């Protein structure tokens, strides 16, 4: 898949989520206010926070698709991880706010009797957000996009929290008023957990965390399948936005000429690019096989 096509697909998915989220936000805020539901109104505030998060992701994708330059020789892909980190902070802040509001409402015994419009808003949110989650996650997984996967988690968070919102609103509708703020409190706990997971994953990428073991194993297998490659001496992988950057050390016959070893290394790189569309660059170092050699590293 070409570079521009990858970013165009991600951009389309996020724009769809952006406008659907806008409509849901307006609907939930209105339903929570006129339907007298603390939980549904909190859900609407959460959607407003999502608005900011999705907008930041759209900006990050636009920045991330820029090619490398003198100041950013590895490209601008880290903008997506920064966006995912920002999304995590928005999620955590939202969860903390909803938890505080639910505790205060419970302590004050400020219980209300929601209307049917609040029940309908919670039910519609579950259906729409779960569909958005699956739609976004599928594309995010294909593109290996951290920002898309973060947005997909955010959609799933909305769908699951709306289940507790629906239970609370229905309970309050039938006279158990305390269930509305309790549902909002339960929602906040789940939101905080999702925020922590998103923060952990984005921080892992920004700190040059290692690539998944199965990815490393498959790249190693491909490299060692190339004729005249004796062994993969060392391999590292790190994420830069939608792309993985690989550092690879190959052992070859010490009697090979520089031109021959360069040709083999080029074949290895081509094979990895063919097998993994999400690999942005492969940096290869050649070592002599069956000879003592020291890896000079200061990290």
What is the set of domains in the chain, with CATH numbers? 3-206 (1.20.1510.10), 213-288 (3.30.70.1350)
Distance CA 275, CA 98 (A): 45
- For residue 282, what are the β-bridge partners? 246
β-strand pairing of 243-252 with 279-288: parallel
Decide: 80 and 6 in contact? Cβ < 8 Å: no
- Size (the chain), residues: 299
pLDDT at 270: 92
- Distance between start and end Cα atoms, the chain: 35
Phi, psi torsion values for 211, nearest 5 degrees: -70, 160
Angle at 82 between CA 65 and CA 213, to 5 degrees: 85
Distance CA 113, CA 122 (A): 15
Distance CA 57, CA 84 (A): 7
Q: H helices within 174-249, ranges in order?
A: 179-206, 213-224
Average pLDDT across each block of 10 residues of the chain; the chain has 299 residues. List them in order: 62 79 82 75 73 68 67 69 79 83 79 73 85 85 74 79 79 78 78 81 79 87 91 86 84 90 92 84 88 69
- For residue 247, what are the β-bridge partners? 236, 283
Instruction: Specify the 3-state DSSP secondary structure of 267.
Output: helix
β-strand pairing of 231-240 with 243-252: antiparallel
pLDDT at 64: 62
pLDDT at 299: 64
pLDDT at 7: 63
Distance CA 270, CA 279 (A): 11
- For residue 231, what are the β-bridge partners? 251
- For residue 240, what are the β-bridge partners? 243
Produce one character per residue of 239-248: b if its CB has 16 or more CB atoms within 10 Å, e if not. bbbbbbbbeb
Distance CA 225, CA 227 (A): 6
Distance CA 3, CA 170 (A): 48
Phi, psi torsion values for 244, nearest 5 degrees: -105, 140
Distance CA 148, CA 196 (A): 17
Q: How many CB atoms lie within 10 A of CB 141?
A: 12
pLDDT at 227: 92
Distance CA 12, CA 150 (A): 16
Instruction: Specify the 3-state DSSP secondary structure of 264.
Output: helix
């Amino acid at each position: 898949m070409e570079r521009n096509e990858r970013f165009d697909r991600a951009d389309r998915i996020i724009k769809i989520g952006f406008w659907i989220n806008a409509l849901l936000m307006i609907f939930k805020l209105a339903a929570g206010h006129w339907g007298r539901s603390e939980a549904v109104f909190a859900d609407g505030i959460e959607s407003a926070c999502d608005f900011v998060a999705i907008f930041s992701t759209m900006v990050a994708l636009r920045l991330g698709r820029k090619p490398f330059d003198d100041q950013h020789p590895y490209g601008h892909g880290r903008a997506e991880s920064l966006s995912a980190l920002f999304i995590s902070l928005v999620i955590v802040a939202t969860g903390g706010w909803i938890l505080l509001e639910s505790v205060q409402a419970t302590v004050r015994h400020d219980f209300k009797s929601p209307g049917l419009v609040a029940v309908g808003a919670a039910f519609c949110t579950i259906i729409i957000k779960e569909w958005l989650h699956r739609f976004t996650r599928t594309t995010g997984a294909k593109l290996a996009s951290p920002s898309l996967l973060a947005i997909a988690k955010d959609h799933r968070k909305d769908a699951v929290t709306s289940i507790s919102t629906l239970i609370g609103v229905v309970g309050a509708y039938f006279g158990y008023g305390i269930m509305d703020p309790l549902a909002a409190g339960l929602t906040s706990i789940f939101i905080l957990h999702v925020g922590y997971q998103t923060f952990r994953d984005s921080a892992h990428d920004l700190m040059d965390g290692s690539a998944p073991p199965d990815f490393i194993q498959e790249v190693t297998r491909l490299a060692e399948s190339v004729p005249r490659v004796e062994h993969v001496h060392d391999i590292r992988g790190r994420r830069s936005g939608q792309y993985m950057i690989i550092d690879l050390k190959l052992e070859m016959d010490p009697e090979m000429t520089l031109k021959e070893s360069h040709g083999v290394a080029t074949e290895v790189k081509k094979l990895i690019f063919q097998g993994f569309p999400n690999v942005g660059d492969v940096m290869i170092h050649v070592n002599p096989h069956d000879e003592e050699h020291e890896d000079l590293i200061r990290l």
